[in-house]
Amino acid sequence: MAIIDLEDGVSRERKEEARRSARELLQGRVGRGPLAFVRINSPAGGEGRADMEAVVLPQLAGVMVPKVGSPAQIEVLDWVLGRLERQHGVPEGQVSVLPLLETAAGLGAAREIASSSPRVCALALGVADLAADLGARIGPDSPLLAAARAELVVACRSAGVGPPLDPVHLDLQDLAGLEAEAVSARQLGFQGKACIHPRQAEVVARVFAPTPEEREWAQRVLSALAAAEQHGRSALVVEGEFVDYAVAARARRLLRFSDQVQSASRSQ
């Protein structure tokens, strides 16, 4: 996924220029490549509405929405996107929504936001603004960050959407710290981590991509369980590990994600 930023990364004086550039970039996309998302300004203001008017095109996969604090915001956005899709010849429902939760209100309503529209594909966490909103310092080992991450994982899973995205690592020189954060996020159930520089992408991709050993484990688990079911059993031990339907579900999710990663790599 590639995210074009029209929000905090663009000064107020250059918003219109950035919209034109984003539109030209999307129109120039041909063939395969990473999914194209655009981080828009708040849809409640004129900048956000102008962003959507500019970028809702057949090449757009989705929008990242900043500072989402309630499901009502996503419900209104759903209606606006539907109107723009019809207006610009985009298949209705194509444009996904990735809410960025970076306030106490958003975190508190995470489960409702995740369930607010079929367009919601996952949730993302914004730590810098969340820390400012809470008046707290949130470091890599902060209990508050761990609690926020856990809430997003549960919210996404309960809503049946994709796993969440971890926040950016702001120190471009600290690749070891980036990797440590990515490992921690993956262990918690995140599907990826936002990057702000190309040099970070290799580290994040390596951490989150299932390894060959993990794929082999998943295939062994599913094969063994299928064989056991033929004899009327639904629980067994595979190489010393207890396996039941819950473990099998984890194995299937891992293989699906691995297939998605491989498909995305081939499309680059």
* pLDDT at residue 267 tops 50: no
Q: How far apart are CA 176 and CA 81, in angstroms?
A: 40
In a domain, 201, yes or no: no
In a domain, 69, yes or no: yes
Which one is predicted more confidently, 117 or 228? 117
Per-residue pLDDT tens digits for 160-202? 998 999 999 989 999 999 999 999 999 998 989 999 998 999 9
* pLDDT at residue 264 tops 60: no
Residue 54 burial (CB count, 10 A): 21
Show the domain range for 248: 212-266
In a domain, 178, yes or no: no
Picking from 113, 132, 167, the residue at the C-terminal end of a domain is 167
Task: Give the mean pLDDT of 133-142.
Answer: 85
Q: Are residues 47 and 153 in the same domain?
A: yes
Q: Are residues 18 and 128 in the same domain?
A: yes
Residue 30 burial (CB count, 10 A): 7
In a domain, 18, yes or no: yes
How large a percentage of the chain has pLDDT more than 90?
58
Tally the domains of the chain: 2
Q: Are residues 221 and 153 in the same domain?
A: no
Per-residue pLDDT tens digits for 3-22? 999 998 899 999 999 999 99
Residue 78, pLDDT score? 96
Per the structure block, which two tokens stand in for 259?
Answer: 């297939």
* pLDDT at residue 81 tops 80: yes
* DSSP codes joined into one string, 175-214: HHHHHHHHHHHHHHT--EE--SSHHHHHHHHHHHSPPHHH
Q: Are residues 32 and 150 in the same domain?
A: yes
Q: Are residues 234 and 125 in the same domain?
A: no
In a domain, 224, yes or no: yes
Per-residue pLDDT tens digits for 223-257? 888 888 888 887 788 878 888 877 887 788 777 77
In a domain, 85, yes or no: yes
* pLDDT at residue 108 tops 70: yes
Residue 114, pLDDT score? 97
Q: Are residues 123 and 254 in the same domain?
A: no
* pLDDT at residue 268 tops 50: no
Name the average pLDDT for the chain: 88
* pLDDT at residue 144 tops 60: yes
Q: How far apart are CA 174 and CA 103, in angstroms?
A: 26
